[in-house]
Each structure stands twice: as structure tokens, then as C-alpha cells.
Structure 1
Amino acid sequence: MRKLMLFFLLTLTSLAEAATGVFPDTTFNNLDYGLYWFGYGDSWQKAVPGHGNAYYSASKPTVIYVHGWQNGSTAKKNRETFNRLDAGGPDLDLAHAWLAAGYNVGILYWNQFADEGEVKDAEAKIWTASGPRAMRWRNASGAYSNGPAQSAGDLLFQSYKDNLAGYSGSNIRLLGHSLGNQLAIVLTKKISDAVAAGTLNSKLLPKRVALLDPFYSNQAKSYLGNRWVGEVCRSYVSELKGKGVIFEAYRTSAVTSTVFVGDSNSGLMNMTAFTELKPWYFNAVQQTEKHNAAVWHYLWSFAFNPPPISGSSNQAASAKTSDSRIASLMNGTQKLVHDQGAYTKEPSDDNFKQNAR
């Protein structure tokens, strides 16, 4: 049992080794976090409140990605971007189809806070600034420094609302991978609360949130009043669904849901448009690659028509599937399971079947 637990922990540890973006050394030697906008070919510009950005227009539909645990990434000067070749994905700019469709494409970075040897230490920073490691952050030499007195959830919320203050578009979508799915949920809750309080434009409330191979640690947390993180996420999602937010979830690996490491949180999955993807082009021990597949498969799927459901004229879930169809799947009684196309990376030949949840 200990060997199995160690295997999954080591797999999670290597998840930071995704795609490498070209960022200056100052990005890793000094504390840097928040929203970056992207253009074609992984070109980027950090969002700065009150300043124009070459890759952002306030009237466009918007998709924003939130990464997960980043153990060891700062020393490697590694940040996730939209080319996922190093994560087992295609050597493509996965933002291309979104940009061509008129989307703003962004990433909310918290990588230096998420650079911890223990996943639960990084997880705590999403929820509180006074967890086991407070809000310390790591630089490129591997040294930690004391961080701000705000949680990652609060810091990213501030970056989000400041940089989208004048947003006039009609559709914002958040994507959260692994541990980052919790941040996507927390961020959406904070936005919703601010909208309800009358301090934030309702256009900033995400219309759709995608949970990509989501991770929730086991056991109760003192910083959550002795509740599990998965339990709190369920309560948030239930509330947000009542506000009209659409949730979809995609499971691609055993890394995030084995009983020894993570909470499968099946109750939450059943509250979403839930899909079990089967990346069988990777073998059984390539759990890191399977875990990362959730990101690039979802991003890439936007370039293709929505996949079909076997024996039906209905559409399955993908990034290209309409909001209304995802909402219908979310409110249904069945989950989707990969049926055809599981041995090829390209989403164009995917086909799904429906199973009882």
C-alpha cells in the first residue's frame, strides 16, 4: 500500500513538468502571479489594470485557464502555456482555435505559491493565508520567502476583477486543472458573492466552468472548519448552479481519485456534465501523461465539432459543445464514457456512450 501511495505522489509531483513558456528570469526570481493574456504562438503580455493589452479586448468572449500544483517548476523556470508537447500533447498552439474564434485567452498564474513538495501545502493556500506554509513563495534558486497576507483565491480574484473591470462581453469560461479546479471554483464563488453584493458587474460571473481531472485531498481541514475540501467545493458548486453557472468535468487518470491520495468526490462529479475520457494511447503507468491529457484534450477539442453519442443524434461534451447542451448534460442523470477514439490523441474521432451515474 505504501508503494502504491508513493507511486501516485511521485506522479503528482512531476505534474509541473508540462509545457515550458519563454518568460524572463525576473518572472521566477521575484514573486509574479496573476492574469496573463495570450496571442498566437504562445506570445503573451501580463495584464496590468488600467493599461491596454495587445491580446485583450473587453467585448470578446473569454477563456481563462488556472493551473494546478507546481512542485519544482520555479527552479526549472517552467510555466504552463498553450503548447503542451512536454505534457504528452500535440506540438500545436492550443489557443489558436479559440483566438481564431474571437476569444480572449488567458492564464491565471500562481505557480510560485503552488511550488511545494507536499500537495496539501499548496492546496491550503487556495483557501487561506494561514495554512501550514502560510503564503510562502519559491524563487528560481529554490529558496522560499514570506508571501502576502492573502490567500491565492483572494489574490487571483483581485487580479481577475481589476483586469476585467471594464468587461462588456457576454461569455467568460474558466478552466481549472487538477488542484487548479479548486481555485476555479473558489474564484467563481468570490465573483458571485461580489456580484450579489453589488460591487462587481454581473458580466464578470463565468458562464461556464470546466474541471479538468480535478484533485481534492482527503481528510478534514482545520482551515475549513474541519470540512473536506471536496465537501466545500460541492456546496459552492450547488450554490453557483443556482446562479446559472454551468459546470462540466472530465476525468482522465487515477492520479486524482485513488483512495490513497485524493478524494474522488463522486458527489460533485454527479453535479456536473461529467465525462470519463480514456487516453489509452498512454500505458497504465503513464499516469502523469494521462493526468495532463485533460488539459490539452479539452483545449484541442474546441477545434473540432462536438463529439457524438453512440446510437443517438445527441452531442457529447467537449469545449466546442454549446453552453445549452452542456447545461442539459449537467442536469441529466447520466455520465459520458469514452467509447471510440480512445487510442488516438486527436479529438476529431471521439465518440461517447452514456452510462448511469
Structure 2
Amino acid sequence: MRQLLLSCLLCLCGLAQAATGVFPDSTFNNLDHGLYWFGYGDTWQKAVPGQSNAYYNASKPTLIYVHGWQNGSTQKKNRETFNRKDAGGPDLDLAYAWLAAGYNVGILYWNQFADEGEVKDAEAKIWTASSPRAMRWRNSSGVYSAGPNISAGELLFRSYRDNLAGYSGSNIRLVGHSLGNQLAIVITKKISDAVSAGSMNSKLLPKRVALLDPFYSNQAKSYLGNKWVGEVCRSYVSELKSKGVIFEAYRSSGASSTGFIGDSNSGLMNMTAFSELKPWYFASTQLTEKHNAAVWHYLWSFSFNPPLISGTSNQAASARTSDSRIGTLMNGTQKLVQDQGAYTKEPSDDNFKLQAR
């Protein structure tokens, strides 16, 4: 029953979120991963260390998104982009407002590694290259091939490190959805360790990390010394907060609210500026759409003024809310629960109320 519910909630997420026709067939026929920079209208250019990129400026604030599980996506030649109409979101370029505000906008792809029939097999690749599935990757014919001998977390960290080596700005934000939230945390931890070791410029440490409907599987993992993934993520976030990294989290579905499907990891949620979204414009059975809503709702919310806490002039959390305000909410004792705007997709009419964590 647990696996059935998990499949209903997550199995089609990669397909629902992805865009077809944006990338050439070669992107799916051959192994391709790492950082891509985006311009308006889902135009893109892969980041290559040492080479200029039409969509990247080393002095600009930067948003980088990390996707989650991608079961079946490679054969469909699908990859997530910034138009989320196939995920129940608006038929809009959700990078537009960010680009217009002067941001670099990128995606860290690991979709061919994340294309597994079992979510735990994809999850293991975040942490280790030595799980039963190792780092195998899938091509557009559905065939798996042996992959590199380093984890997805390390691969994406290296892509980030090498392509942002000359970064001179002062604001990097990582955003991770579902399993991708674990990657956002792991990458930030690796960056922090490198900064502490003196091998990376401190400007590369993300200032803010957003966890969107995050997923953590249940049970201890041998590749983590018999610890739960949620437990390790909590320890990383605790350390990173002490280094000044700001964390926000948004729940939109049962993927992160019930221990029956996965680890609710309430301890970690309580360490963040935590908001419970209510995407009630979807039916109760539309679990996948609700899970996906966290992504496009967050990206879209940057286009509008921050929501308010009902009955006050105090701001709630959104992508547009300032870093300092998110930090205040993170260090508070209450969570935010959506109080208005639950039946409309556009974030402009959202308000929230405070509740005990």
C-alpha cells in the first residue's frame, strides 16, 4: 500500500513537470548532466567552464534550481524547464520576472541518473556511487548504461564549482524540489566545506536555500552509516545555518507531510521558514499536481509582492520576501499556513496565518 501511494504521488512527477522539444535528441541519447543557464522563453546554453555564456554574468544575483525524481522521462525526451503548464501550472515563462530583475537563472540537471523506477534508487545516487544501481544512467531507448564512479551530489557540486569559479556577485539562491531538496542541501554542504578548507571563494556559498515539497525516504541507509537521509539532512542544515545560510521550506502535498509515504522530517521543517501551501484548486486525488505546485508557485511568487500574515502588515514567506525577513521567520517559533488564496493558482492573493510548529 505504501508503494502504491508513493507511486500515485510521485511516479509521474518527472513527466508532468518536464518540457518536450526544448532540448535536442542528443541530450537524451547520450549522457548529459550539469548546469544550464536560461534566458527568456526557455532559451538555454549549457555552462562550460572557462567559456562565456550568453545567459550568465558573474556579477549578477543567481537562482539555480535542482529537480527531483525523473522516472520514465528520458524515453519521453522530457526535461524540466521554466514553463510548467504540463505540471498544472500557468502557461508562462516563470524565469521572466527573475531575469527582468537581473538574475542569472539556471538548472542543475541529473535527469538521466534520476530516471529510475524506484525512488529510493534515485535517492541513493545523491549520496553514493556504490548503491545496488550504482550511477547507471538511462538513454532515450530506455537502456541503462554504467555511469561515473562519483555520486550525483559530487557531480553537480563540481559543475557548480567549476562554472561559478569566477563569481563576483553577492547572492546565490539554490532551490530544490522533491528529491532535489536533498541535492540542494548536499551541494551547499560541499560548498561550505570547500570554503572552510580555503579551496573555494566564500562568494559561492548560497545565501538562501529553498526546499520545495521536499521528499525523504523512510528507514536507515547503509550508505549513510545506518542513518536516515532526513537525519543527515538535519545535521547538514544545522551546520549550514551556523554559517549564515538561510533556509525556507514549502509543503504542498503528502510527499512531505505523512510518515506513511516518506519521512515527514518535521525536525528539519522546524529549522526553516516553513510554509504550508493549500493548492485546493486541485482535487484531493490530484496528488502529483499538488506535489508539483510547490515549484511553479514558488517561482511565480517572485512576480508579486510578498504575501502578508492575515490581520497584520507583516510579510509571510515567498520567493519575493527579502532574505532578512526569511531569516527572521526561520529563527522564529511558528510556521505559516495558507489562509487566503487557496482556490486560485496565482500567488498574488495569498495570505497566511501563524501557527505553532
Indicate the TM-score class for this superposition, using the shorter chain for normalisation: over 0.9
Contact 1:19 1:85 in 2 (8 A): no
Query: Which residue number in structure 2 is paired with residue 90 of structure 1?
Result: 90
- 1:307-337 deviation line (CA, Å, top 9, x unaligned): 0001112100000000000000000000000
| Per-residue deviation, 1:132 | 1.9
Query: Which residue number in structure 2 is paired with residue 20 of structure 1?
Result: 19
Query: Which residue number in structure 1 is paired with residue 196 of structure 2?
Result: 196
Query: Which residue number in structure 2 is paired with residue 108 of structure 1?
Result: 108
Task: Give the whole-Å Cα distance in 2 for the aligned partners of 1:101 and 1:238.
Answer: 31
Query: Which residue number in structure 2 is paired with residue 117 of structure 1?
Result: 117
| Per-residue deviation, 1:5 | 4.1
- 1:237-265 deviation line (CA, Å, top 9, x unaligned): 00000000000000000133332220000
Unaligned runs of 5+ in 1: none
Query: Which residue number in structure 1 is paired with residue 165 of structure 2?
Result: 165
Query: Which residue number in structure 2 is paired with residue 210 of structure 1?
Result: 210
TM-score between both structures, scaled by the size of structure 1: 0.98
Task: Give the whole-Å Cα distance in 2 for the aligned partners of 1:93 and 1:163.
Answer: 24
Task: Give the whole-Å Cα distance in 1 for the aligned partners of 2:261 and 2:311.
Answer: 37
Contact 2:279 2:342 in 1 (8 A): yes
Contact 2:8 2:288 in 1 (8 A): no
| Per-residue deviation, 1:176 | 0.2
SS of alignment partner, residue 8 of structure 1:
helix
Contact 1:256 1:263 in 2 (8 A): yes
Contact 2:44 2:55 in 1 (8 A): yes
Contact 2:8 2:287 in 1 (8 A): no
Contact 1:8 1:261 in 2 (8 A): yes
Task: Give the whole-Å Cα distance in 2 for the aligned partners of 1:14 and 1:218.
Answer: 20
SS of alignment partner, residue 186 of structure 2:
helix
| Per-residue deviation, 1:11 | 2.5
Question: Which of 8, 11, 19 is the equivalent residue of 2:9?
Answer: 11
SS of alignment partner, residue 20 of structure 1:
strand
Identity of aligned residues (%): 83
Query: Which residue number in structure 2 is paired with residue 39 of structure 1?
Result: 39
Contact 1:177 1:295 in 2 (8 A): yes
- 1:114-159 deviation line (CA, Å, top 9, x unaligned): 0000000000000000012000000000000000000000000000
| Per-residue deviation, 1:162 | 0.4
Unaligned runs of 5+ in 2: none
Q: Which moved more, 1:8-17 or 1:94-103?
A: 8-17
Task: Give the whole-Å Cα distance in 2 for the aligned partners of 1:258 and 1:335.
Answer: 17
SS of alignment partner, residue 255 of structure 1:
helix
Contact 1:19 1:82 in 2 (8 A): no
Contact 1:208 1:246 in 2 (8 A): yes
Moved over 3 A (4+): none
Query: Which residue number in structure 2 is paired with residue 280 of structure 1?
Result: 280
| Per-residue deviation, 1:19 | 3.0
Residue 49 in structure 1 maps to residue 30 in structure 2 = no
Task: Give the whole-Å Cα distance in 1 for the aligned partners of 2:246 and 2:298.
Answer: 16
Query: Which residue number in structure 1 is paired with residue 237 of structure 2?
Result: 237
Task: Give the whole-Å Cα distance in 1 for the aligned partners of 2:81 and 2:246.
Answer: 25
Q: RMSD value over aligned CA atoms?
A: 0.8
The amino acid that maps onto 2:179 is L
Query: Which residue number in structure 1 is paired with residue 145 of structure 2?
Result: 145
The amino acid that maps onto 2:29 is N
Contact 2:216 2:230 in 1 (8 A): yes
Query: Which residue number in structure 1 is paired with residue 300 of structure 2?
Result: 300
Query: Which residue number in structure 2 is paired with residue 186 of structure 1?
Result: 186
The amino acid that maps onto 1:229 is V
Query: Which residue number in structure 2 is paired with residue 156 of structure 1?
Result: 156
Contact 1:66 1:181 in 2 (8 A): yes
Task: Give the whole-Å Cα distance in 1 for the aligned partners of 2:179 and 2:321.
Answer: 24
SS of alignment partner, residue 35 of structure 2:
strand
Contact 2:303 2:320 in 1 (8 A): yes
Contact 1:250 1:274 in 2 (8 A): yes
Task: Give the whole-Å Cα distance in 1 for the aligned partners of 2:336 and 2:242.
Answer: 23
